[in-house]
Structure 1
C-alpha cells in the first residue's frame, strides 16, 4: 500500500470553461456518495511546528509592518513572495513536540522601482531584521497581477486589431495569454518581459487548437506596454474549431458501448494515516511534515522512518519539493523559440493550483489541505483543497509462488 499526496496546477489565464468544470459534471457516478472528508483549514490556524507556513494573521501582520517601514512609506512594493523564514536545520532537528517554538520570522521578496528587495521580519517584535537589494541577474516569480497587466497591454495594442482583421477576426474573438517569459539577447537585459500569444475562441472553448500562428507581442511588464510586435503568419490558416471541445456535457450523445458500473475503493475502518496539527502526517512506520507552498506547490519535510526490526527512528529526508517543471519547446520559429515553461519559478505551482474535487480527483477518506498565499498587495488569499492525502494499493500482486508439495493453495503477496 502506498500513501499519495496530490495537487493540481493550471494556467489562470487560459480562458473560461476549464477541464475541471467538465469533469465535475460527469463524475462521480450517481450511485456513489462522498462521506465527510477530513480537511486542514488554514484560515485561522495557529503554528504548531517551527516550519509551519505563515498563517492568515501572520501575513496581515507582515503587511502592516511593511506598510509602516520607512523605505516603503512612499510606495508599497509588489510582493512576489512571502514565506516563513525557517530556523536553522540544527534547531529544527532538535525541536520536540511540546517545546516552545523558535521565534517566527517572515522572508519577503518585494519589487519596487525595478529592484528586488529581500526583507526578513521578526513577527514577535515587529522589527525588520535584514533588508537587502538583490544585485544578481534575473527576477523573482511573477504575480498574477503582472500576467494580467501584460495581457491587458497586448490586447489594447492597435496592431493586434489589424492582425486580427487580416484573419477575418476581431479582438473580441481572441483569447490572449502569456505562456512564457524567457530572456533572449542583450536588448532584453534588465527588463521584465512577457511574450503574449493569441488564439481564436470562435466555435470552441479549447482555443489552444486555434492559434494565430506567427503573432507575438513582447510586453514590458513594468512599463505596461508592447515593445515589440511581430506578425509573420498572416498566410497561415487558423485550424477549424469543430470537434475540439474536450469537456464532458450531460447532453452529449452516449458512446456506442455497454454501460460501465462505478468502481469504489472502500476503507471501512477509515484511513491508516493521521494528520496532527494540520501538517504532521503519520502512516505505518513513517512520519513527515507536509505543507503547501506558493512557488513549489508543496513541501515535504522531516521525513522519518522507524526501523521495523530495531524500532530505531532514521531520518530519510530533511526537505524535498518540486524544484521546477521545465518544458522547452526548442522550435526555432519566431513564435515558438522562446517557449520554455518554468512553471514553479515563473508562475508558481501553488499560486496556480486549482481545488481538488472529492471522489473525482481524490478517493474516499482523503485528507485535504488548503494553501495560504499572498497576493501582490501583501494580503492573504486561500487556495482551498489544493492538496489531498490518501492511501491506495500500488497495483497488482507483487509476487506469487506455489509449491505443490508445501502449499496446495500457493502464496501471494499484494503490492503495497
Structure 2
C-alpha cells in the first residue's frame, strides 16, 4: 500500500517533501556541527550551493527563449492593432491597480500595528543604494538597440517589445508569415518539453536551496525586526489569499477556491526560487492547461507581469517606509503617504529592468519622502525569507490578472478552469513531470 501511495505522489507532494527535508537537514547540520568549517565550505557553499545554483540556472536558461517564442506565438494571432493595444492597456492598468491596493493596505496595517522601535536607530546602520534611472532613460531603454544583446543580458522589457513587434510583423506577411508562425508553434512545443525535463529535477534542487537557507540564515537577525517581519508576512498572506481571490470573483465571477487549489505548484516554485522569471515556465503552463487561459493572452500578460507586477515588493515598501519612519522618529503626513503610493506604483514599471529592483525602488520611495536610506540596512537580515513569500504573491497576482483579462477578451475556457483534473490528463505537462519523477 505504501508503495502504491508513493507512486501516486505528484509534483506538489515531491516539492513539499523536498522543502521540508531540506530545512530539517539544514537545521540538523547547523545544530550538530556549529561553526564547522567543513560544513560551511564543502556542504553549504559546496554541495548545496552547486546543486541549488544549477537548478536555478536551468530555470533561468529557459526564460528568454520561452518568453520570446511564447510572445511571438501569441502576437501572431493578434493581427488587429486595436486588439493588441486593448490587451496591453488592460494588463498594465490591472497591474497598477493591484499594486496601489497592496501599497495602501501595507501602509494602513503598519500604521495600526506600529512595528518600528526608536531604539533601533542607535545601531550602526549603513546602506548604499544604487541610483535609479530617470523617466526619460526608462522610456528610451524600452526599445532594444540590439535585440540579441537584450536576450543575452536578459532585459525582459526589451525582449517583450521586440517579440511583440516581430510577432505582429509575422501576422501581416500572408502565407510566408503562416509558415514562420507554424515554426514558432513547433518551437514552443519543444521548449515546453525542455521545461518538463527541468521540472523533474525540482524536488532535488529545492531540497538543496532550502538546506542552504537553513544553514546560512541567521536566527539572531529576527530579534530586532521580528514585528516588522510578521507585519509584512501578514499583509502578504492577506493580499494573496483574500484580496486576489476577491478581485477574481468580482471581475470574472469565477470560483476563487478552484483558482487557489490550481496555483499550488506555481506558488511553491516561486517560494523556493524567489524569482518570478525562473517560475515563468511553470506559470505559463499552469495558466494554459490548468486555468484555461488561451496562449495568445497568457504569453503576453504573464511575461509582462513577471517583469513589472511587483505587488509583493510594494507591500514590503509600504511597511518598510512606515517602519523606518517610526525607527527614526519622523512623522509623515497624509500627503507623504500618498506620494509613497504614487511613487512606488509607478516605479513598479519604471525600474522593472534594474537588478536589485526591490531595494532600488524602496530607496526611491524613502528619498521621495525624506527618510534616511540607511534604514534599509535594518530590514536586510530578514529580507531573504520575505523575498520568497513576495515572489509567490507576485506570481499569484500575475495569474489572477491573466485569468480576468482572458475572460474579458473571450480567450478563456471555463470548462478547463472548473475541471479539477485539467492539466493532469495523460500527455499533459503535469503528468509528464510526474512521470519523470516516478521513473
User: Shorter-chain TM-score: what band?
Assistant: under 0.3
Give the structure with the larger helix fraction. Answer: 2
Give the TM-score of the pair, scaled to structure 1. 0.25
Structure having the higher Rg: 1
Q: Normalising by structure 2, report the TM-score.
A: 0.24
Kindly indicate which of the two structures has a greater share of residues assigned to strand.
1
Query: Greater relative contact order: 1 or 2 (C-alpha under 8 angstroms, separation 6 or more)?
Result: 2
